[in-house]
Structure 1
Amino acid sequence: MASEPILLFDGDCGFCGRTIEMVRRIVQPRVQFVPWQYADLAALDVTEARADREVLWISPVSGKVYGGPRALSAVLMCGRRRWRWLGFVLRVPPANWMASGVYRVVARNRHRMPGGTATCSLPAHMRGNPDC
């Protein structure tokens, strides 16, 4: 198991990649960012379908996997002090309900977001564009 938490993201998605770079620069979390396409998913107990559907947080202590807004909350809580409160807020109602809804809309439409392309909307096994 890794010594730092791992955040798996879609390395073929331009929007996802740009978002990760922004988080690295602004939030500065202590986490390993790994495109799921380069991860040993079986060792992390994650399916390709789940990794393609949502961003995933893997705890270095328990090995537990959290997805979507819960993963984003964990990233914020491991970041610079000024971001930790937002990570906490995203875990409690009603903020977690709203975050889940917003996350679903963004995840389903990431190919329409800045940096995304139509190829980003394809399932992983159908993608051929490395610049997606």
Structure 2
Amino acid sequence: MTTRPVLVFDGDCGFCTKSVELVERRIDPDVEITAWQFADLDELGVTRERAMHEVLLVTPTGEVHGGAKAFAKLLAYRRGVWSVPGAVLQIPPVDVIAAWVYRLIADNRYRLPGGTPACAMSPERRPGAQAG
């Protein structure tokens, strides 16, 4: 296991990749960032199905947070000013709204800037996909 949190995202999705690049550039969180396609999912304690469904943040203690909560925790790991929105995103009812917005974006990412037709396909149907 790692001593830093690990952010796991869909490396085949252009929108996801651009989003992660933006996070790295603007927020600079103290986390390891890896595409699920290159991650040791067993070591991280997550299933391939979950990694295909949402962005994940795995803490050094093995806690797994997905979707909007993963993003909120990511902000909290940055500390300073970024920890404020990270905390707010975890407070009811904001957490419910954030989860809804996350799912809306995730389900429509192929329509967003940087999205590609591959984003609209389930990972197992993408060209070159292998069963795993």
Normalising by the smaller structure, the TM-score range is: over 0.9
SS at match of 2:82: helix
Instruction: Give the equivalent residue in structure 2 for 1:34.
Output: 34
The share of aligned pairs that are identical, in percent, is 44
What is the CA-CA distance between 1:5 and the residue it aligns to? 0.3
List aligned pairs for 1:101-120, cutoff 5 A.
101-120=100-119
Offset from partner CA, 1:73-123 (integer Å, 9 cap, x none): 011111251111000000001110110110010010111111011221111
Q: Deviating runs (4+, > 2 A) in structure 1?
A: none
User: How many residue pairs align between the two structures?
Assistant: 129
What is the CA-CA distance between 1:124 and the residue it aligns to? 1.1
Normalising by structure 1, we get a TM-score of: 0.93
In the alignment, structure 2 segments of 5+ residues that lack a partner are none
Instruction: Give the equivalent residue in structure 1 for 2:125.
Output: 126
SS at match of 1:77: helix
Instruction: Give the equivalent residue in structure 2 for 1:58.
Output: 58
Instruction: Give the equivalent residue in structure 2 for 1:15.
Output: 15
Residue 43 in 1 paired to residue 11 in 2? no
Offset from partner CA, 1:24-48 (integer Å, 9 cap, x none): 1111110001100001111212111
Instruction: Give the equivalent residue in structure 2 for 1:4.
Output: 4
Instruction: Give the equivalent residue in structure 2 for 1:98.
Output: 97
What is the CA-CA distance between 1:129 and the residue it aligns to? 7.3
Query: CA RMSD of the aligned region, Å?
Result: 1.4
What is the CA-CA distance between 1:65 and the residue it aligns to? 0.6
Q: In the aligned structure 1, how far is the partner of 2:75 from the partner of 2:41? A: 23
Instruction: Give the equivalent residue in structure 1 for 2:87.
Output: 88
